[in-house]
Amino acid sequence: MKTKLGALLRAIRNSRHLTIKEVAAKAGVSSSLLSQIERNRISPSLDTLLQILEVYGVPPNKFFKDYETSSRVEIIRRDDRKIYQRKGFKYEKLCGDSQIKGNHSFNAFFLELSPGQQRGDESDGHLGRELGIVVEGSAQLVYGEEIYEIHKGDSVSFFSEIPHVIKNSSDQIFRAYWVVTPADGEDYFGDKIS
- To the question of domain 78-181 being in CATH 3.30.300.30, the answer is no
5 Cα distance to chain centroid: 21
Q: Which helix (H) or strand (E) holds 80?
A: none
pLDDT confidence of residue 51: 95
The backbone torsions φ and ψ at residue 13, rounded to the nearest 5 degrees and listed phi first, read: -60, -45
User: CATH second-level architecture of 2-66?
Assistant: Orthogonal Bundle (1.10)
**Residue 69 pLDDT > 50:** no
Strand segments, DSSP code E, in the chain are 83-86, 89-93, 107-113, 118-121, 129-136, 138-143, 146-151, 155-159, 164-167, 174-181
Please report, for the chain, the start and end positions of each structural domain, with discontinuous segments joined by +: 2-66, 78-181
Contact (CB, 8 A) for 100 and 107: yes
What is the CB neighbour count within 10 angstroms for residue 33?
Answer: 17
For residue 184, what pLDDT band results from cuts at 50, 70 and 90?
low
For residue 63, what pLDDT band results from cuts at 50, 70 and 90?
confident
Cα(136)–Cα(117) distance, integer angstroms: 15
> Taking phi first (over 0 means left), then psi (-120 to 50 degrees means alpha), and beta for anything else, what does residue 67 get?
beta
For residue 27, what pLDDT band results from cuts at 50, 70 and 90?
very high
Q: Per-residue pLDDT tens for 106-138? A: 888 899 999 999 998 888 887 788 899 999 999
Query: Who contacts 143 (Cβ-Cβ below 8 Å, separation ≥6)?
Result: 158, 162, 163, 164
| pTM: predicted TM-score of the whole model, two decimal places | 0.56
The backbone torsions φ and ψ at residue 97, rounded to the nearest 5 degrees and listed phi first, read: -65, -30
Residue of 16 and 139 predicted with greater confidence = 139
Contact (CB, 8 A) for 170 and 127: no
For residue 91, what pLDDT band results from cuts at 50, 70 and 90?
confident
